[in-house]
Amino acid sequence: DAGITQSPRHKVTETGTPVTLRCHQTENHRYMYWYRQDPGHGLRLIHYSYGVKDTDKGEVSDGYSVSRSKTEDFLLTLESATSSQTSVYFCAISESGTTGRYGYTFGSGTRLTVV
């Protein structure tokens, strides 16, 4: 497939609980990203990583944290889930110019519902 997998695919959680989403890649790409997709907002960047243990915030980072301890794994944690974090979360990877290519490859997404 695309060399990038997300887990879980679906999750329902209660308000106030912590939630961790996982993104795993087999492409050895340096850059990894977490986006959320909401109707009327398109895809908005939450956090991104430019290497192991190197991460930075995107435009909608409040309430989220990330970790990248290995090249292949990028974890997104909702520290205390709120209903406003109900969304579809997409992970993406990019070579970002290593081979002249800058486009993203997206994972299949995680549909998260906070009740």
Partner 1 sequence: GENVEQHPSTLSVQEGDSAVIKCTYSDSASNYFPWYKQELGKRPQLIIDIRSNVGEKKDQRIAVTLNKTAKHFSLHITETQPEDSAVYFCAASFTGTASKLTFGTGTRLQVTL
Residue ranges in contact with partner 1 by CB under 8 A: 2, 31, 33, 35, 40-45, 48, 50, 56, 58-59, 90, 94, 96-97, 102-109
CA angle 86/4/10 to nearest 5° reads 30
Cα–Cα distance for residue pair 82/18, rounded to 1 Å: 10
Q: Which is nearer to partner 1, 65 or 96 (CB)?
A: 96
Q: How far is the CB of 16 from partner 1 (least distance, A)?
A: 29
Nearer to partner 1, 70 or 102 (CB): 102
Which residue type is seen at 91?
C
